[in-house]
Chain A
Amino acid sequence: MLGLDKKDTALLLAVAALALFAPFILNIFPQNTALAFFNGGYPDLMQRFVIFGIFAIGFNILFGLTGYLSFGHAAFLGVGSYAAVWMFKLLNYNIVPALVLSVIVAGLFSVLIGWISLRRSGIYFSILTLAFAEMSFRLAYSVLTPLTNGETGLQVYSNDPQILMGENGVTSPHLFGLEMSARATLDLGPWEFTFPVGYYLCAILMLISLYLAIRIFRSPFGLMLRAVKSNQQRMRYTGLNPKPYTLAAFVISGMYAGLAGGLLACMDPLAGAERMQWTASGEVVIMTILGGAGTLLGPILGAGTIKYLENVFSKMNEALLHSWFSWLPDFIETPLIWVLSKFTGEGWHLTLGALFMVIIIFLPGGLVEGGQRIGRLITGRSRKASDTATKPAE
């Protein structure tokens, strides 16, 4: 279908089905039960799943295929957000020009940064991108305040021009009148499902992004990118210049990040400089690696896992832990809760860091590799046979 082979079509359809039924799957536990705590089917969270999915898919095109580890991709996300909010300020709340501009601006920005940073490779490349992202972050806070509104963050004010707004224009982000914040709810006995418009728009864009990524992975261009990763010298000896290919990959991943940033602004018309901070760049690195760098499904899986765990872990507090473990004798419960409380709530980042380290140390291929190992155990196929069958696209 659409120029994909059978396996890729199946993958795309599976992701599409998951995205379509996410409001059901994520709200699997009935309301008013203890397990409803683990539900993740709110519009806000689902939107973040797919938006960061897009971000990670894009990052994977650069890191997974070429092996260039960029520590500054959050800059493109931030630039995309700013561009989208500027479109809201100048034209109106229609998201089409906003998204188009955010992709274009992020693309141009990444051409500039990529062109300079890609003159070096390895650790130098990481540090150069890091330096650029930090520079953008600092500038957004200080000198570029007229463009970025500094610490307050860029937002739409009532006295903004909004030249296409008209008399009774919609006053929140919309797609030709279809508001992003609109949602339908479905009550089925104790279950309650929400179907937000914004989420489905993001999901459709995520599927398109994934489709493009698959096409890139399977194309001769993707092959070139893999050649860059495996041996640049040999590539040069065959008469190929790796630079244009790497730069193209860099720009494509920058545009993905810009799209993700634009979508963040479309869901909530705000843009702040903290989106560009280097910890935000670190987050997308963590997502991609947690899921499995160089695989197609990995980045989406990683983004979903991290955002879901973030949500669940930061909601946990000591009172909740007490209610869960009250059946244990006190002398076990108290130290157990003391330990767990360090990892939950405020301590979510501790869990994140520890999880990330465990993945890097024991499972460098990420969750996808973990899934494959488990699959091998269950089917009992020999390692050699399955290696040829389910080798990740790296």
Chain B
Amino acid sequence: MDAVILQILNGLDKGSAYALIALGLTLIFGTLGVVNFAHGALFMIGAFCAVTLQKIFTLSFQVVDETQKDFLGNPLKVDMPYVEAWFGESFGGGLIEWSVPLAILFSIPVMLFVGYAMERGLIKHFYKRPHADQILVTFGLAIVLQEIIKANFGANPIQTPAPDMFRGSADIGMLLGFDANTIIYPYWRMIYFAFAAIVIGAVFAFLQFTTFGMVVRAGMADRETVGLLGINIDKRFTIMFGIAAAVAGMAGVMYAPINSPNYHMGMDFLVLSFVVVVVGGMGSLPGAVAAGFLLGILESFASNSTFKGYIVDFLYLNGTFTEKLIQGLDQIIIYLVAIIILLTRPRGLMGRKGVMED
């Protein structure tokens, strides 16, 4: 039982990332009808917002520290970040330490702007073109964004640690009445999950309870009629694109401490997020979120060799080639599920009728 809970928890953080990216993808698809292959790149740009902010905070000059000596006996030169020199050690040091959470505030305007610029500058011109063209141009854009990041930040992953407070792990097993050290879960992943839940809730609440959201939902259902009512729906959809970009960006910022950002993380997540969207049902927001968590958890179960061992024992497959296939399941489980879902439930788990069914 404790192992099951542990695997579910392990799946939650990756599932949160999938759900957030898939939510943004679906928002864009549902409003603008555009298949955005550059969405993974937005996730990556978000992560690099965290990197950038950390770099800005740790910009330093060299000072001579009289108390320390280097190996030649001269006074040692140490790096002194500007923020520590300006704001004092405690506040400046705190800024550096909290750079990842602060990067969320930094990333929201950046991502809103990136999303707005992308929609007005490029995607606007592709509404009337075939879906294949939309896929291709955003694919090209994803390559360009990714290479720009690579040119500026290099190809290696960059460490962006979480604040000290959230390092380490909690023993959740104790809370639930299991033995100590059975279910250990890092704090930051818990925060990631909570954060994802808040963001998803906020997006849904925004769409459900505000006038703006109501108009957007009406536009998703029937764009033409809303336009005929004298509402400038294009402008609202552009804003939704910005919001979707911001959601992807925030997901990226918060993911930076879990996985050190590198330039191809966007592409890695993009393929999976598309699979998530398709499994959830193209154009269905709850479907995207549910499928994101579901596939994250499935992947986590598939990567646990004990569970795979149970399957093998259960099917009497020990020592056969199939056993090896099952042992490699974690690599392909998501794709396999996607294929099965697409073939048995072509609309996905919660897909609406008539969406992308040419």
A binds B: yes
Best-buried of B122, B146, B278 by chain A (most CB within 10 Å):
B278
> Given that A116-B339, A132-B339 are contacting pairs, would A123 and B131 also be in contact in the complex, using a CB cutoff of 8 Å?
yes
A135 touching B336, Cβ below 8 Å: yes
Of the candidates B35, B133, B332, the one whose C-beta lies within 8 Å of that of A139 is: B332
Q: Which residues of B contact A67 (CB under 8 A)?
A: 132
Contact A143 B325 (CB under 8 A): yes
Instruction: Verify B332–A353 contact, CB threshold 8 A.
Output: no
- Stretch from A2-10, A15-23, A354-362, A381-389 at the B interface: A354-362
Give the distance to chain B from A284, nearest Cβ to Cβ, in Å.
12
Cα distance, A130 to B271, chains bound together (Å): 8
- Quick check: B331 and A142 within 8 Å, CB to CB? yes
| A350 CA to B142 CA, complexed, in Å | 10
Instruction: Let me know if A97 is at the binding interface, CB within 8 A.
Output: no
Q: Are A127 and B137 in contact (CB under 8 A)?
A: no
* Dominant SS among interface residues on chain B: helix
Residues of chain A within 8 A of B137, CB atoms compared: 357, 360-361
From B141, B143, B267, name the one whose CB has the most chain A CB atoms within 10 angstroms. B143
Given contacts A116-B339, A131-B335, contact A123 B143 (CB under 8 A): no
- The CA-CA distance from A135 to B328 in the complex, in Å, is 11
Question: A130 vs B139: C-alpha distance in the bound complex, in angstroms?
Answer: 13
A289 x B136 contact (CB < 8 A): yes
- Asked if B48 is an interface residue, CB under 8 A from chain A, the answer is no
Number of interface residues of A (CB under 8 A): 42
Chain A positions within 8 Å of B125 at CB level = 361
Contact B275 A131 (CB under 8 A): yes
Interface string of B324-351 (1 = CB under 8 A from A): 1101100110011011001100100000
Q: Is the CB of A354 within 8 A of B131?
A: no
Residues of chain B lying within 8 A (CB to CB) of residue A31: none
Q: Is B140 an interface residue (CB 8 A)?
A: yes
Say which residue of A123, A278, A347 sits within 8 Å of B271 (CB atoms): A278
Contact of B151 among A121, A131, A278, A342 (CB under 8 A): A342
CA distance A220 to B207 in the complex (A): 52
Selected contact of B335 from candidates A134, A232, A352, A357, CB within 8 Å? A134
A116, B342: Cα distance in complex, Å: 10
Q: Is the CB of B151 within 8 A of A350?
A: yes
* Contact surface of B with A, Cβ cutoff 8 Å: 35, 122, 125, 129, 131-133, 135-137, 139-144, 146-148, 150-151, 267, 271, 274-275, 278, 282, 324-325, 327-328, 331-332, 335-336, 338-339, 342-343, 346, 356, 358
**Chain A: residues with CB nearer than 8 A to chain B?**
67, 69, 116, 119-124, 126-128, 130-132, 134-135, 138-139, 141-143, 232, 278-279, 282, 285-286, 289, 342, 346-347, 349-350, 352-354, 356-357, 360-361, 364
Chosen A-B contacts, 24 in total, with CB atoms closer than 8 Å, are: A119-B346, A120-B342, A120-B346, A122-B356, A123-B131, A124-B356, A130-B271, A132-B335, A135-B335, A138-B328, A138-B331, A138-B335, A139-B328, A143-B325, A143-B327, A285-B136, A285-B139, A286-B140, A347-B150, A349-B147, A350-B147, A353-B147, A357-B144, A360-B136
9 further interface pairs, Cβ-Cβ under 8 Å (given A123-B35, A124-B342): A120-B346, A127-B275, A132-B339, A278-B271, A346-B151, A350-B144, A350-B147, A353-B147, A361-B125
> Which are the 8 A-B pairs with shortest beta-carbon distances?
A353-B143, A143-B328, A350-B147, A357-B140, A138-B331, A353-B144, A356-B140, A131-B335
